[in-house]
Amino acid sequence: MRIISGKYGRRRFAVPPTFSARPTTDFARENLFNVLGNLMDWEGLDALDLFAGTGSITFELLSRGCRMVTAIEKNRAHAAFIAKVAKELKTDDLNLINGDVFRYLHAASKQRFDFIFADPPYALKELAEVPTLVLTKDQLNEGGIFVMEHPKEYDFSQLPYFNQRRVYGSVNFSIFIKEAGRKDA
């Protein structure tokens, strides 16, 4: 796993070969962050990384200046790896929750985020429900952005706040922007 840019840029961490996570490719991640960089300034934002996997998005967000990143990862080994990398980076700006994303979203704390990223396993039977759940739990601040990584078979363009779809090889991102004053959800 490589952190692309920011204060931890170019740092590499060896992901154990036993991991079942499918990390977002460097190519797709770099292109996504180029697009998002034109839409928002990361400095001081609060972010939520759902299905954190190896933590590649989590650490990219921290590296680019997010104030706090909450990462939700159910798999104990993956969460332990994320904790290990955070310790190596000497960051206190990570709130790691070793738990189920759906339980977390259904509990819907009062915490709100400027940026939410979700990369569920492509074989997850509830994958199609994730964007609706995220958008209806009111955890995204006005002007906030939600990005859903998904296989090409899914089309989320009819959902509230949909802005654009980006495709990088086999990786698809649907981008939602919660525009101030818009009442889609």
Given this model, what pLDDT does residue 17 score? 82
What pLDDT is recorded for position 138? 85
The Cβ of residue 57 has, within 10 Å, a number of other Cβ atoms equal to 27
Contact 166, 150 (CB under 8 A): no
pLDDT at residue 181, as a whole number: 58
- Give me the residue spans of the domains in the chain: 29-177
DSSP-H helix ranges across 118-183: 130-136
pLDDT at 77: 94
User: Topology of domain 29-177, per CATH?
Assistant: Rossmann fold (3.40.50)
- At 183 the pLDDT is 54
Q: What is the C-alpha to C-alpha distance for residues 177 and 127, in angstroms, rounded to an integer?
A: 20
What is residue 82's predicted lDDT score, i.e. its pLDDT? 97
pTM of the model: 0.94
* Residue ranges in the chain modelled with pLDDT below 50: 185
Residue-level pLDDT at 26: 84
